[in-house]
Every structure is written in C-alpha cells, then in structure tokens.
C-alpha cells in the first residue's frame, strides 16, 4: 500500500458516535477479520467491489450494453451479475442513471481526503470534534494511516482511530503519537472463550488483540472500549462480568461503548452478492443493555449505549 494513497469505501460527515464532538469518519477498506455481524461488509476485502442496489434498478438495460465483459444479464425479469466475469471497469456504473450500480472502494490520496474533511472544520472547532479513521481495519493500510494522521495534526485537527487491534505492535506503536484517541473493538471479553468461539467466527485468535489493548493502555494512551453485543454469543452475565474485569486491567480507560447488534448491514451483503451470515438473529433493544450500564456504574466504569 502506498503511503500517499489508500483504498477508501466511504467518508461520512456529521458523526456524533465515534469520538467526541462532531466528526468526519474516513473508512479504509480491508480487514483481517471476518465477523459475521459486520455492518460494513464492503470494508472487508482489500480490493474494490461492484455493488448493486436492486431497489433502485428500473430495468432500463443500459448497463447490459455498457458491460464489455458480458457480466450482466437479465434472468426472470431481474438483473443478475456474474461477478467472476466482472473486471470492475466501471462502464456499467457510468451507464446507470438511477445509480443502482456503484463501486465500493476507490483509491484516494492524502490530499484528496484532507480536502473533504477540511470542509467541516467549523463544526469540529465548535463541538471539539475531529477526524475518526475506521474501516475495515485502519492498521491494514498503516503507511497511509500514519501520513494522513500526521497531516491532520499539522492542520490542528484532532484524530481518533477505530480498530480491532489485530495488527503487529510494531505497526501500531509509531502511529499512536499522531492520534488523540483509540476506539478499541473487543469481540469477546474472555480470552479462553475467544479462542474457542470467537476465533472460529472472526477467523483470527484473540491473543494479539488483548495484548495490544494492554500495551496501548500501559502507555497512558486515551483508550475507549467498543463492544458489539451479539445475542447468544457475548451477551450473557458471565460475558458482562468478563468485559468489566478486562476493562479494569486497562489503566486510564475512558469509557465502554455498547453497540447493540442490528441488521442494517444485511442489505449491504445483498448489494455485494453475498449472503448475510446472521439473517435470522433478532436485534437487541436498548432496554436489553440497561443492566450493563447499571453494573458498570457500580464498578466505577462509564458504560454507554450507542444506537
């Protein structure tokens, strides 16, 4: 990966849940994990992908004639894409007037991204907000991440990284000095259970994740835990106790954000021609997590529900 360019799949403005104040989120594409509850599946692969939003398709057929690879056809009055033939030339996207077709992920330079995030400087300054780099996994494109964060700091912008922490420490450590806050995603709070269960689901073991969290906290670096609560996976009383116990081992922990599982990512899987792994899982309601907040308060931990 170039230090001057990154594969980015979205830049989201006016976010209020990913760090203090009003923030702009920069989503870097590519992630070593494969969490089945992922709400941004378009951020998993480290390559561009063709996305098709069927609800916007008018059936005009312009894309069929535009595709030089013959990857698009109508079958039973419905547009179908043979993704094995698609070479991501983008001709179908250009021909699609209703914008049902798009390419998830494009290469952008540091300067291009800075130009976009600088547009909302007045909101950052008024709310003490800034820039949050998310993904995917930001540390999967470390050279760009470091260059971009340095450029943001040089312009007086505060910075945060949302990460699962699955990267070599030698990759993470030099980048920390350019970041004001780490939002650290924990998939399961019990290392043994992570090896038994979470490793099977995410595709990686948890040792590196737990170790890096401890290293970051030991440096006195501002750290907030993020925990997506998945029914039947990590939402039990023993999981809650393990999360709080782990948080207590991290000096200077700022807060714990609970993110109830939701189904907003299901439509994205369909857009990418994939099946959602957790189609039948019931989302959680806010009241399901109120006990987490109450018990966290008893343990002097600031626990917040983010919905």
Instruction: Name the burial class of residue 164, with classes exposed (0-12), middle (13-18) and buried (19+) by CB atoms within 10 angstroms of its CB.
Output: buried
Q: Which domain holds residue 282?
A: 5-46+106-305
Return the minimum-mean-pLDDT range out of 85-94, 117-126, 247-256.
247-256
pLDDT tens per residue across span 165-193: 999 999 999 999 999 999 999 998 887 77
Which CATH number goes with the domain that contains 81?
Answer: 3.30.70.20
- pLDDT of 52: 97
Torsional class of 302: left (φ above 0), alpha (ψ -120 to 50), beta (otherwise):
beta
Distance between CA atoms of residues 253 and 220, nearest Å: 9
Give yes or no for residue 1 having a pLDDT over 50. no
Distance between CA atoms of residues 119 and 99, nearest Å: 25
Say if CB 188 and CB 209 are below 8 A apart. no
Residue positions counted in the chain: 307
Q: Are residues 225 and 295 in the same domain?
A: yes
Which residues lie below 8 Å from residue 21, measured CB to CB, with a gap of 6+? 123, 124, 127, 128, 129, 130
Q: Are residues 297 and 253 in the same domain?
A: yes
- pLDDT of 130: 98
- pLDDT of 105: 97
Say if CB 188 and CB 234 are below 8 A apart. yes
Give yes or no for residue 229 having a pLDDT over 70. yes
What mean pLDDT comes out for the span 4-25? 96
Say if CB 286 and CB 293 are below 8 A apart. no
Q: Are residues 65 and 207 in the same domain?
A: no
- The helix or strand, by DSSP H or E, that contains position 78, with its residue range, turns out to be strand 78-81
Q: Are residues 182 and 123 in the same domain?
A: yes
Q: Are residues 34 and 67 in the same domain?
A: no
Distance between CA atoms of residues 141 and 45, nearest Å: 12
- pLDDT of 254: 79
Which CATH number goes with the domain that contains 113?
Answer: 3.20.20.70
- pLDDT of 145: 98
Q: Are residues 92 and 164 in the same domain?
A: no
- pLDDT of 194: 73
Q: Are residues 30 and 83 in the same domain?
A: no
β-sheet bridge partners, residue 111:
none
Distance between CA atoms of residues 283 and 286, nearest Å: 10
Q: Are residues 156 and 211 in the same domain?
A: yes
Question: Which residue, 104, 134, 151, sits at the end of a domain?
Answer: 104
Half-sphere exposure of residue 272, counting CA atoms within 13 Å on the CB side?
A: 20
- pLDDT of 232: 87
Q: Residues 12-33, buried b or exposed e (16+ Cβ, 10 A)?
A: eeeeeebbbebbbbbbbbbbbb
To the nearest whole number, what is the mean pLDDT of the chain?
93
What mean pLDDT comes out for the span 140-159? 97
Tokens of 272: 């990418």
What mean pLDDT comes out for the span 224-233? 93
pLDDT tens per residue across span 202-228: 888 788 999 999 999 999 999 999 999
Sorting pLDDT into bands at 50, 70 and 90, what band is 3?
low
Can you say whether the dihedral through the CA atoms of 281, 272, 33, 251 is positive or negative? negative
pLDDT tens per residue across span 32-57: 998 888 999 999 999 999 999 999 99
Sorting pLDDT into bands at 50, 70 and 90, what band is 2?
low
Q: Are residues 41 and 92 in the same domain?
A: no
pLDDT exceeding 70 applies to what percent of the chain?
A: 97
Q: Are residues 22 and 87 in the same domain?
A: no
- pLDDT of 19: 95
Question: Which residue, 104, 123, 146, sits at the end of a domain?
Answer: 104
Q: Are residues 98 and 150 in the same domain?
A: no
Split into its structural domains, the chain has a count of 2
β-sheet bridge partners, residue 74:
79
Q: Are residues 167 and 188 in the same domain?
A: yes
Question: Which residue, 65, 81, 104, sits at the end of a domain?
Answer: 104
Distance between CA atoms of residues 139 and 161, nearest Å: 9
């Amino acid at each position: 990966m170039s230090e001057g360019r990154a594969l980015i799949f979205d830049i989201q403005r006016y976010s209020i849940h990913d760090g203090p104040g009003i923030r702009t989120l920069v989503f870097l594409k590519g992630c070593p994990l494969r969490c089945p509850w992922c709400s941004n599946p378009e951020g998993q692969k480290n390559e561009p992908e063709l996305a098709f939003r069927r609800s916007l398709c008018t059936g005009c057929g312009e894309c069929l004639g535009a595709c030089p690879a013959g990857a698009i056809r109508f079958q039973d009055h419905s547009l179908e894409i043979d993704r094995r033939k698609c070479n991501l030339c983008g001709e179908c996207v250009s021909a699609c007037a209703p914008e049902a077709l798009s390419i998830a992920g494009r290469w952008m330079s540091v300067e291009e991204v800075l130009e976009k995030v600088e547009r909302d400087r007045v909101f950052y300054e008024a709310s003490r907000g800034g820039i949050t780099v998310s993904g995917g996994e930001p540390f999967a494109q470390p050279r760009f991440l470091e260059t971009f964060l340095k450029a943001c700091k040089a312009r007086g912008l505060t910075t945060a990284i949302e990460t699962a922490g699955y990267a070599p420490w030698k990759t993470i450590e030099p980048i920390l000095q350019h970041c004001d806050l780490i939002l650290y995603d924990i998939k399961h709070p019990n290392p043994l259970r992570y090896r038994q269960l979470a490793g099977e689901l995410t595709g990686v073991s948890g040792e590196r994740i737990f170790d890096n969290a401890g290293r970051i906290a030991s440096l006195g670096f501002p750290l907030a835990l993020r925990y997506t609560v998945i029914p039947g996976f990590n939402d039990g009383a023993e999981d809650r106790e393990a999360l709080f116990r782990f948080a207590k081992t991290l000096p200077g922990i700022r807060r714990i954000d609970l993110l109830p599982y939701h189904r907003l990512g299901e439509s994205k899987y369909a857009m990418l021609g994939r099946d959602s792994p957790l189609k039948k899982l019931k989302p959680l309601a806010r009241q399901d997590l109120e006990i987490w907040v109450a018990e966290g308060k008893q343990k002097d931990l600031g626990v917040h529900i983010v919905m």
